[in-house]
Structures are given as structure tokens and as C-alpha cells.
Amino acid sequence: MVKKKQYSTANQEHEITRDYISQEIELKWQKEWKDKGTFSPNLDTSINPFYNLMMFPYPSAEGMHVGNMYAFTGSDIYGRFMRMNGYTVFEPIGLDGFGIHSENYAIKVGIHPKQQAKKSEYNFYRQLRAIGNAFDWTRTVETYNPEYYKWTQWIFIQLYKAGLAYRKKAPVNFCPSDKTVLADEQVIEGRCERCGAVVEKKELEQWFFSITKYADKLLDGLTKIDWSEKVKIAQHNWIGKSEGAEVVFEIKNLKQKIAVFTTRIDTIFGATFLVISPFHPSISSILKSPVITDKKKEEIKEYVHNAQEKTEKERNLLKAKTGLFTDIYAVNPVNGKEIPVWISDYVLMEYGTGAIMAVPSHDTRDLEFARKYNLPIIPVIRKKKTVIASYLIGSIQITDSDLTKIGVKIVERLANDVRKIIIPVKAIAEYEKLIGEKLTSGYWNEYIDNEAIFLFKHNDGHIKRIVLTSETEAKVRELMGDFLKKSDKEIQPWSVLMSNEWYASSFIHTEYGFLINSDTYNGLSTQEAKKAILDTLTKQNIAKKVKIYHLRDWLISRQRYWGPPIPMIKCNQCGWVPVAEKDLPVLLPDIEDWKPKGTGESPLANLPSFVNTICPKCKGKAKRETDVSDTFLDSAWYFFRYTSTEEMNAPWKSERIKKWLPVNMYIGGAEHSVLHLLYTRFLTKVFKDLGIISFDEPFPRFFAHGLLIKEGAKMSKSKGNVVIPDSYIKKYGADTLRTYLMFIGPFNAGGDFYDTGIEGIYRFLKRIWALISNKNGSIAIESLNEERIYMMNKTIQRVTEAIKTFRYNVAIAGVMEYYKYLSKHESLSDNEKEVVLLLLSPFSPHITEELWSILGKPFSIHQHAWPEFDNKYLQLSEYPLVIQINGKMRDLIHVSKDIISQQPNIEKMALERGKIHKFLAGKKIKKVIYVKGKIVNFVV
Ligand code: ANZ
Ligand code: ZN
């Protein structure tokens, strides 16, 4: 509470009779800003344009919670800062109210989406007005207004005409609860992003945008935009460019070949089986093949059927891979070996060719599969740094010292005659000699260098030494069979070795290295081998270089009601024809029965008056497309429209776009890293290629704000801890809430919302009110001493740098400290008051505007220039220096700026002080800690 008192200042006389009542001044100034058009720049004539954009909100009908407000406020502060730094700032607002999100809410509350949208819009805009952002309220955009979606439809047609929109039948993600298809991006771990239901696969005819044609451009563009690495990496991975080769395998007994996609053609000698997806086209030929038994065919059909039933989610959950041998064999083109062909759903039909060559030695998924089904494992890549290893068995007569004497290292002893060992290269000859002498007869020993060397010791004591190669493999197998008294058929020498974890630990890996077990390619590095093998196979027409992407084309159609009807007409004579542009928009009809049908068709399909039309080309009878477009299309171009909301004959005015775009600062949530941000980039690139704009990245700077939590937990409706700003605004005012939110932490880090923190900020603003409105303002700037000038400049510097880097919390702390400093003085200069208000104005726009006017300064503080600091005042000629002993303050001296960098001098000065001298008498100084210009601490 402020005492009522009358006083005079040098420039004016005024009476402070009021307390700080936020409710009064906030409404007053919001009206004033609106009436005067303070934040509605003339988009044609203004200079130094700065487009400050907050990510398009899609408010829920319950309205905005403080987490949303956090984001909006942070964006607003940046805009205000830029305005005060000489820019004409355009900060528009609108909402994305079309789409499943809004429609589902309408279903829940049982209100027609159109009516519900009006309600939500009203509530959302009311809340937004109350937070006092510098929005240009004359240019709002709502996606469900025909004036807007007319152009969304127009954009669809432009893409269609450019060959970038097409229809295809595709297995699509279908949400049984939302009764619609979903884009891949909208499926999170097999569940619908919106409602969490387990997503099914369905075959439907759908519209797609060819975003994959832009994959390379979307990747390249990432290198030239100023976004956080995290978001760029997310896009990079989502696009997922993969360079590799397609290799064709002949199939025995089948007149068909199977092409696989691999990024590791260097491992082809280690391909011990082939795996095809259950949806692979060759399955139908297998099912027709006379060489396959009927029983096997039934098994295959059943496996395929189960795979169709299985959702992606279930597949992810089922850690263990399942598979089925088809009874057919493929021929490895590099060595002619016959390898079995399996079916498994770990191979996706949508990626590559839907078939892989499995290399269990160097691919973890293949390894898991091979282990489960007992398929051979042949290592073909040796790591660069490696050891010669052996697993010594049957060596009861070989002592540890026999081994260590020749330099062999014993890694582990598992039993008396079983040891894991490492053999140095120079000891190999002696080691073989030792084996020859002392290995128990009837055992063999092998050690693996770049190849596997077998030493078979027959019962009669003689040693047979064999290096395992493709030529000797049969012999090794036979001997192994003899020694193990097993039929040799089951024995795969390399697989036997790899089932031993001591060998596996150095031979089964996913690293690069050099080739082994690969005939003439042995010794080549992975890189060299990739090239050499690809070259050879390309010449034989067996392989070709390819690059593929994880990115899928953008599935655009939705079998729902609440969206812009896709502006296409199907004519029996002419096929698909776009609606004539003069006939746009295709209005979304008002219908009673708007709820999703789950039939694979939109509710619009039940409306003959909508469906039946005439063909724009031949004027014959035709039918309209009844699907609506994905809401992500609505939000992919809104920022173009903001600049030209009054334009009725085009999506935007070219001159405006030239002046205002690309967006200078885009702020939004990192959760949109791949969806929205990829689609906007794609459309912008398309517009550029169509020649309608001249830039190809919409957001050269994007800043991802942090997320707000509530007392340790994520704010969510289900937890019931969602904080609605309205009551806080009512109680403390928007200024307090804004400033509190920004004070919680750095803007990119988010923070935790506590009621107690708000109280603190409220007290702070009340003190500012008292300080500025009540303190004598009579002293002149010239009479400020050096320290006060220094503090003023230092504070301006600190706050300015902090806002530039979105450390709003640091900026507010700077103002707080300055307040503390000023409040110690009897009277303030006009300049000091001005600086406090200007620095605080982006955070607390209303109270600062009010105090600004109380000081008699011209409207508006928000159009005033940002205060500048002068480097020459950023140094004091003398600094107060605290002297501590063991961290406790004992004295204070003032030292000249010329010596603050000279620690020995500082120490000397401190030690000469009588007090310090006395304290230290008879004590030994162990350490001196010096904090430049602030503290010297003697540790004794
Ligand atoms: C042999 C190989 C050996 C592979 C090796 C990897 C390591 P990225 O990098 O993600 O593109 N693959 C190919 N098509 C597949 C499909 N439809 N479903 C599942 N896996 C598929 O991955 C490319 C690798 O993933 C390919 O290279 C293939 O396995 C597998 F040591 O081929 B590779
Ligand atoms: Zn026609």
C-alpha cells in the first residue's frame, strides 16, 4: 500500500492517490492500444518490418491454460523488444479450429462443430486479449472460415496441377475410435496421436501429397536455417535418407527374382538367409508354386493372415521376432551359395523393397532372428583393432605357466581345462607347437585371427591343421562331425564358433572394419568393399546404387466432416478433375448427421446434393470427392494469409509477402519438430517452385520454448492439474502472471508453476509502483554519482543481452536487482525511473504504461526506443571489495579499477588493513581465493 502524499518534482506536479490496481489499468490500456492501433502496423508502408510469429494455436474448447500462455508471452516479449529496437513488428494471431481435435470435442459435448467452434473462438480470444499481448487484432485468421479455406482448397489444386497430389490405394493407418485414417506422423508407437486407440491397417483409396519428391530439398534446407540442433536432427531422422544398393537374388524353383535393399553390401558374403515381408508380392508366386507342399502353403497363408491382424503396436511389444521358412532357396550372387528364404514381419513392406539379405553377424535384428531359428552366422567384418582369440578346451595338460611363458594372456578360466585366451601375433608358432605337444587327443583347438585356424588332434596324436575357407569348409565340417560324433550335416563351422560367446564378442558387431570370409575382397575396408562389390555387381546387372527415405508421402484425405472438402470431382469420362477456381470455395455443407461413419467414407458421402455435380471439363454428370483435407494442411500456410486477410481474390498480396516474409522469428513447441514444421517447409518450397514466392524456407529462425509443469508433474487434463490463467489474472493481473511465468527459468527450459512464486512477483510489481510513482524525481542526471551511472548502464546491458538470448528470467532478475539498488536512495532521477520502466515494459506492459503516463511521458512506452548503454560507463573507477577470512566478511575496501586484475597487489592491500592483520596474526594462510573486483578470501 502506498501512502497518499503530495510532492513535487522538477518537471511536473502530480498527486499520487492511487494504489496499484491491476484490473483497472489493464483493461484501460488494452482498450487504448486497440483504439489507437498501437500494435496494428500499416503493412504496406511501414519500415524495418519484423514478422514475429507464434506457432498457430489449436485451442481446446476449454480454452488456454498457463502452459499456452507461457509460450505466447515469451513470443510477445521478443516482439516488444524488437519494436523498441526500431522495428515495425507484426505479431498476428488466429486459430486452427478445423480438424479431428475440434470435431472430437464436439462429439464429446454433443454440439455441432460449427457452433462449438464459435464458442471456442470467443473464449480463446477473450483469454488472449486479457494477457495483453501486442497482437494485431485486425488480422485474425480462423481456418474454418470459408474466406480462408477457399485458399486451402486452391493450394490443393495448385499441387494437383503440379503433379504433386495423387490418389492411390494404400494400406493406411486407421483409427477405429476416430474412424478415420491417420498419417504416419499421427501414429505414436502404434497408437492414435489424438485418442490413444490402437491403430489398424486398412486398404483405402487416398489422396497423397508427394512430399518425398522434396526429401532432398528438405534435407539440404536444414543446413541454412538457424534452428536448434535437436529440432534439425529430428527432421533429419524423420526424412531418414539412406544410401545403399538394391541387389537381386535368384530364387530357385521359382521364375522370380527378389531384390533386397541393403546399406551394407560389403557384408554380402555373410548373408546367410533372405527375409521377405508378409506383404511381399512374391508370396503369391510362392503360393502358386508346385514345388511347395500344400501344408507349407497353409502355414504361409496363416502367417500372412496373422501379420495382417497384428497392429504395429503389438509388433513393437512382441520383442521376440517370429518367422516362417518358405521352403524355397535364394542364390547368393557373390558365391552361389543357396540360402533359405524366410517370411517375417520384422521386414516392413513400406521400406526399401520389402525384402532383405540377412547378415546375422553384423545386424542385430538378423542376429536375434538367426539365434531363434538356428540359422548360420558367418562373420565377414573384422574390427580394425582386434586380438587373436582362442577358447582352449581339452587342455588339462597345459598349465597356465606353459601359456604365459610364451606370452599368451589368460582372460578367464572356466574349468580346469577350459580357458579363454588371447594369443599375441609373435607367439603363434610357439602356441601351435604347444597344442601339438600337450592338447588331449581327440580334441581340436581353433584360434581366430583374420581367419579361423583349426588344429585337430586325432586319437593317434597327430595334428591336422586346416585354415577354414570355402574350399576347406566341407573338410572341417566332416572332422568336426567325427570329433563330436554327430552327423556333419548339422554343423556349420562358423556358426559353431559364433555360438561361443568368447568368439562372438569380437566377431559379432555392427562396426566398420575390414573384410574376412569374403573371397577376393578379403582385407578391403568396409568403404572400399562397398564400392568394389557394388561396381562388380552393377556390371553384372545384379545390383544398382539407390537412395531411399523413411519419409512417406503426405496422406491428405480424412473421412471426416470438420475440414475443407477436397476440391476434386470424379467424372466417368474425364477422370479426376479439379473444381474450377471460380467455383471455390467448395463450401462445407451444414448437415445434421456430421458424425464419423467408420465406413471408410466421410459423412458428406450421404448428401446427394453435395455429391452430385457436373464435370467442370465436359459438363457431364460427375461426383464430388467427399473426403476433407488433413488439418495439418490448414496450418501449413496460415502465416502467408495473416499478411493479407482483406485480400479476396488471391491467397495473399505478393507485395506484402515480399515485404514481410520469411518470418523473422518463429516461436513454438518442439513437439512440432516433424509434423507442422516439415509440412510448412514443404509447402513453402512448392510455392517457390511454382513461382509464387521467392524464398524457400518459411522460418529462417525458429526457437523452441520449454514446457511448463505444475509442482513437478506435467500439466494434463487427466491429472487435473491444469492451471487456467483467468483467476490469476483476476487476482493479480496479467502483468504479474506474465512476469512470473517468464521468471521461472530460461525460456527454452520451461519450469515449474508455483502459486507462491506469483505472490513474490506481485509484491515486486507493487514495489515498483511505489518506487516510481512516489519517490521524489527531482534530481538531475548530471548529479548522479559514478556508481549510479554505472549501475544504470550495467543493468541495461545485462537485461538487453538476456532478452536477446531468451534468458528472460535473467533479464527480470536484472531489473529486480536494480530496483533494490535504487530503493536505497532518497530520490531518483528521471532517467533512472525511465530505465526501470523501459526494461520492465516487455514483461509487464500495463503497469509500465500506466507509470509512464503518470510520469507525464508521451504514449506509448511500447513505442519508445529501448535504452542504450554506453561501454565507457561499464567500468567503475573504484570497486568495493569484500575481504573475507575463511569465507566470512571481515572488512571492505575500495580498490581502483587499474589494479583489480593484479591479485598480488590486492592481497597486499588487504593484508595491510589493521583488522585483517589482527585476525591473521599467528595463522598460516593456506590459500587465497580472489573473485575479480568483488571478493578476496583468505583460507587459513
Ligand atoms: C544387410 C545388412 C548388413 C544391413 C548389416 C544392415 C547391417 P537404414 O539404415 O535404416 O536404411 N532393411 C532394408 N529394408 C528393410 C525393411 N523393409 N524392413 C526392415 N529392415 C530393412 O537400414 C537399412 C538396413 O535395414 C538394410 O541394410 C537392411 O539390412 C535393413 F551388417 O542389409 B541391411
Ligand atoms: Zn468430364
Can you tell me the mean pLDDT for 721-743? 93
Atom of ligand 1 at shortest distance to CA of 268? 1
Determine the residue of 258, 361, 363 to mutate for testing ligand 1's pocket, defined as the one with the most ligand atoms within 8 A of the Cβ atom: 363
Other Cβ atoms closer than 10 A to 536: 15
Alpha-helical (H) ranges within 561-637 are 608-611, 631-634
In order, the DSSP letters of 233-257 are HHHHHHH-EEEEEEEEEEETTSS-E
Q: Looking at this protein, which amino acid is placed at residue 899?
A: I
Best substitution site from 236, 237, 264 to test ligand 1's pocket, by max atoms within 8 Å of Cβ?
264
Mean pLDDT (the chain, rounded): 90
pLDDT of residue 11: 41
Centre of ligand 1 to C-alpha 547, Å, is 12
Helix axes 113-130, 725-732, angle to 10 degrees: 30
Q: Give the orientation angle of helix 808-823 with respect to helix 830-840, to 10 degrees.
A: 160
C-alpha of residue 500 to centroid of ligand 1, in Å: 25
Dihedral sign, Cα of residue 637, residue 640, residue 646, residue 650: negative
Distance CA 838, CA 821 (A): 17
**Rounded Cα distance, 493 and 469, in Å:** 10
Mean pLDDT of all residues in 47-70: 89
Is the pLDDT at 258 greater than 50, yes or no?
A: yes
Grid coordinates belonging to 202: 486398412
Pick the residue whose CA is nearest to atom 27 on ligand 1: 262
pLDDT value, residue 60: 75
**Which residue CA neighbors atom 29 of ligand 1 most closely?**
262
Ligand 1: lining residues by beta carbon, under 6 Å: 242, 261-264, 267, 347-348, 351-352, 354, 356-357, 359, 362-363
Ligand nearest to the CA of 613: 2
Ligand nearest to the CA of 513: 1
Measured from the Cα of 362, ligand 1's closest atom is 31
- Residue type at 893 in one-letter notation: I
Q: Is the pLDDT of residue 489 over 70?
A: no
Of 86-95, 258-267, 551-560, 611-620, which range is least confident? 551-560
- Tell how far the Cα of 735 is from the centroid of ligand 2, in angstroms: 61
Cα–ligand 2 centroid distance for 167 (angstroms): 18
> How many angstroms separate the Cα of 150 from the Cα of each of 87, 160, 610, 646, 780?
33, 15, 17, 14, 61
Q: How do residues 555-568 score in pLDDT, each as one tens digit?
A: 999 988 999 999 99
Supply the pLDDT for residue 184. 67
Pocket perturbation via mutation, ligand 1, pick of 239, 247, 263 by most ligand atoms within 8 A of CB: 263
Atom of ligand 1 nearest to the CA of 263: 27
What is the pLDDT at residue 921? Answer: 83
Name the pairing type of β-strands 776-779 and 751-753: unpaired
C-alpha 348/C-alpha 363 separation (Å) is 16
Instruction: Answer whether 787's CB lies under 8 Å from 856's CB.
Output: no
Nearest atom of ligand 1 to the alpha carbon of 350: 17
Cα 261 to middle of ligand 1, angstroms: 7
In the chain, the amino acid numbered 359 is V
Dist. CA 103 → ligand 2 center (Å): 34
Ligand 2 centroid vs 153 CA: distance in angstroms? 20
SS3 (DSSP) at 927: strand
The residues near 425 (Cβ < 8 Å, ≥ 6 apart) are: 388, 449
Q: Give the closest ligand to the alpha carbon of residue 237.
A: 1
Ligand (nearest to CA of 549): 1
- Band (pLDDT 50/70/90 cuts) for residue 776 is low
> What is the Å distance from ligand 1's center to 710 Cα?
43
Q: Whose atoms come closest to the Cα of 572: which ligand?
A: 2
Nearest ligand 1 atom to the CA of 347 is 18
At 12 the pLDDT is: 43
**What is the residue with the minimal CA distance to atom 9 of ligand 1?**
242
Relative to the alpha carbon of 569, which ligand is closest?
2
Nearest CA to ligand 1 atom 20: 347
Place of cell 508380392: 281
If 0-12 CB within 10 Å is exposed, 13-18 middle and 19+ buried, where does residue 568 land?
Answer: buried
DSSP 122-168: HHHHHHHHHTT----TTS-EETTSHHHHHHHHHHHHHHHHTT-EEEE
Amino acid at 572: N
Distances in Å between the Cα of 827 and the Cα atoms of 429, 780, 831 are: 95, 10, 12
Ligand 1, pocket-test mutation among 267, 315, 351, most atoms within 8 A of CB: 351
Q: What confidence category does residue 415 fall into, taking pLDDT thresholds of 50, 70 and 90?
A: confident
Nearest protein Cα to ligand 1, atom 22: 263
pLDDT band at residue 881 using 50, 70 and 90 as cut-offs: confident
Our mutation pick for probing the ligand 1 site, out of 241, 258, 261, 383, counting the most ligand atoms within 8 A of Cβ, is 261
Nearest atom in ligand 1 to the alpha carbon of residue 548 is 11
Q: How far is the CA of 356 from the centre of ligand 1 (A)?
A: 7
Q: Whose CA is nearest to atom 2 of ligand 1?
A: 264
Higher pLDDT, 74 or 202: 74
Give yes or no for a contact between 710 and 669, defined as CB atoms under 8 angstroms apart.
no
Using CA positions, which residue lies closest to atom 7 of ligand 1?
363
Residue 242 CA to ligand 1 centre (angstroms) = 9
Per-residue model confidence (pLDDT) at position 3: 34
Is the pLDDT at 148 greater than 60? The verdict is yes
Q: Write the CB contacts of 490 (distance below 8 Å, at least 6 apart in sequence).
A: none
pLDDT of 185 reads 65
- What is the percentage of the chain residues whose pLDDT exceeds 90? 69
Residue nearest to atom 10 of ligand 1 (CA): 242
Lowest mean pLDDT among 36-40, 177-181, 488-492, 577-581: 488-492
Higher pLDDT, 416 or 26: 26
pLDDT tier, 703 (very low <50, low <70, confident <90, very high otherwise): very high
- DSSP assignment of 802-832 equals HHHTT-HHHHHHHHHHHHHHHHTSSEEEHHH
User: Which residue's CA is minimally distant from atom 14 of ligand 1?
Assistant: 352
Q: What's the DSSP call for residue 226? A: B
Tell me how far apart the alpha carbons of residues 152 and 638 are, in angstroms, rounded to a whole number. Answer: 9
473 Cα: distance to centroid of ligand 1 (angstroms): 28
**DSSP designation for 564:** P
The identity of residue 722, as a single letter, is V
- Across the beta sheet with 165-175, the strand order is 180-182, 165-175, 200-209, 554-555
- Which one is predicted more confidently, 787 or 661? 661
Q: CA-to-CA distance for 201 and 150, rounded, in angstroms?
A: 32
State the CB neighbour count (10 A cutoff) for residue 319: 7
Q: Distance between CA 263 and CA 241 in Å, rounded?
A: 11
Q: What is the pTM of this model?
A: 0.81
**Segment 514-522 mean pLDDT:** 94
C-alpha span between 425 and 387 (Å, rounded):
9
**Closest ligand 1 atom to 381 CA:** 31
C-alpha 550/C-alpha 218 separation (Å) is 13
